[in-house]
Amino acid sequence: MIRITNTLSGKKEELRTLEPNRVKMYVCGPTVYNLIHVGNARPAVVFDSFRRYLEYRGYSVTYTQNFTDIDDKIINASNEEGISSKALSDRYIAEYFKDACALGVRPATFHPRTTDFVQEIIEFVKDLEKKGFAYERNGDVYFDVSEFKNYGELSHRNPEDMRAGARIEVNEAKDDPLDFTLWKAAKPNEPSWDSPWGKGRPGWHIECSAMSSSLLGDSFDIHAGGNDLIFPHHENEKAQSEARTAKKWVSYWMHNGMISVKKEKMSKSVGNIFNVRQALKIYGANALRMYLLSKHYRSPIEFSSERMEEAKASFKRIVNALEEINKKIGDFSCKEDAFSHEWRDRMIEALDDDFNTPQAFSTLFEMVKLAHSSDDKEKLYQMKTLIMEWNYFFGFNFEESSSSSSKAEPFIEELIKLRNEARLRKDYKQADKIRDALKSLNVEIRDSAQGTTWRWI
């Protein structure tokens, strides 16, 4: 039985889906006004991997990830370039797919865009107004938080405390500082749509409520995203949706931790971002996926070149084990037996427990170690099969790495030759330097009377 930590209860809960063997899931996606950075890639990779794991465990998953393609940042960026917000967001949606594809993130079942759902959003807001949860002021429409009794339930905040701490803004037309915008009146030179409240555009929070109800229904199983979205975004989404239907909207809320650089959250506003595009070029997709999955999804992670090099080396250990197994077993094959069942059970036990990927990798690396020390072909064959089977949810691209490591082989041979020449002229300092350099590339060399041999470690 799969258990996940539900932000709503703050506890690990057993996954019980609304429909048998089916998971309906919604993940808040990026605002498309620039290239995504490593912080944006974390929910994309973590929840892609979790979705794959749900499928591995027999669920059919309807996975929805939106694109916010209208908001202040998009309007500002498009005005700066002198192009339409549609042209700008179309460009960055295409760029997003390039990065996601390189990272091995599978396309969602649905990728809704806000501007394709404006009519549904208007209907949603009209409904809230009819039910007494929304009011209009000068073409802006606000959600009336005082009418919704469970406000603060998800983020575990008390509305009274929030009101006491709220800043009173000048010219504020809202009745309550906690009320938030559902619909914004049009400003000059902004894209706008006709509505019962005049020309305007959707507020940010309403899009996820409207798109999920159109695509997944009034209630669904899992809503996921970064923990920076818990308040106000997810709290507000929940209030709107539950006010409208009077039903429980989402069964499980999953939130990933943030990525920091030198202890500060990676974000565009702090100015410490690292684009996925750059990271892919320097470290490769497999290292990036390994880095993003090696810590538990709820924990914060630090981004640094050291962490990335570690992730790269960890991934290489898996590739080396597969190469070594292939060398040892050739085309030997056999049926699976208790050996496979035990290891598979251990892997499932780790991931069923709140998607504990660090535990899953520690199981995998235990197997990698065993692969190096074992000569039992039956076991080695089963190890190889399991590693490939588990890659269904880890999502690495072994093709990419094997071609790059086989490309590296002539260079390794060349370095060994140089080292042997250094030893012949008794330049041991240089010889050691070359040996250390090879070691940092995960290459171990052995000298014997027959000459020098090497292997991946």
Site for Zn ion, rule CB under 5 A: 28, 208
CB 128 within 8 A of CB 240: yes
Question: Shortest Cβ distance from residue 218 to Zn ion (Å)?
Answer: 17
Nearer to Zn ion, 241 or 382 (CB): 241
- Bridge-based pairing of strands 451-456 and 443-448 is antiparallel
Nearer to Zn ion, 206 or 367 (CB): 206
Question: Shortest Cβ distance from residue 296 to Zn ion (Å)?
Answer: 23
Nearer to Zn ion, 37 or 234 (CB): 234
CB 67 within 8 A of CB 96: yes
Backbone φ and ψ for 13, nearest 5 degrees, come out as: -130, 150
Nearer to Zn ion, 28 or 350 (CB): 28
Question: Shortest Cβ distance from residue 290 to Zn ion (Å)?
Answer: 28
Alpha-carbon distance of 354 to 362, in angstroms, equals 16
CB 116 within 8 A of CB 89: no
- Using DSSP, state whether 43 is helix, strand or coil: helix
Question: Shortest Cβ distance from residue 170 to Zn ion (Å)?
Answer: 29
Nearer to Zn ion, 28 or 250 (CB): 28
Question: Shortest Cβ distance from residue 225 to Zn ion (Å)?
Answer: 6
Nearer to Zn ion, 210 or 266 (CB): 210
Nearer to Zn ion, 236 or 314 (CB): 236
Of 31, 111, 47, the residue nearest 256 (C-alpha): 47
Q: Both ends of the chain: CA-CA distance in Å?
A: 36
Question: Shortest Cβ distance from residue 209 to Zn ion (Å)?
Answer: 8
Nearer to Zn ion, 239 or 288 (CB): 239
- Residue 445, judged by CB atoms within 10 A of its CB (0-12, 13-18, 19+), counts as middle
Q: What angle do CA 197, 200, 203 make, to 5 degrees?
A: 100
Query: In this structure, what token pair is assigned to residue 456?
Result: 């991946």
Nearer to Zn ion, 26 or 456 (CB): 26
Alpha-carbon distance of 307 to 21, in angstroms, equals 37
Question: Shortest Cβ distance from residue 397 to Zn ion (Å)?
Answer: 29
Query: In this structure, what token pair is assigned to residue 121?
Result: 């959003």
Long-range contacts made by residues 288-292, C-beta under 8 angstroms, separation at least 24?
A: 288/38, 288/41, 288/45, 288/103, 289/45, 289/49, 289/103, 289/104, 289/315, 289/394, 289/395, 289/396, 290/314, 290/315, 290/396, 292/38, 292/41, 292/42, 292/45, 292/46
Question: Shortest Cβ distance from residue 212 to Zn ion (Å)?
Answer: 8
Question: How far is CA 230 from each of CA 6, 59, 156, 236, 256, rounded to the nearest angstrom?
Answer: 12, 26, 10, 9, 10
Q: Is the peptide bond prior to 196 cis by the omega test (within 30 degrees of 0)?
A: no
Question: Shortest Cβ distance from residue 279 to Zn ion (Å)?
Answer: 25
Q: Which residue is nearest to Zn ion (CB)?
A: 208
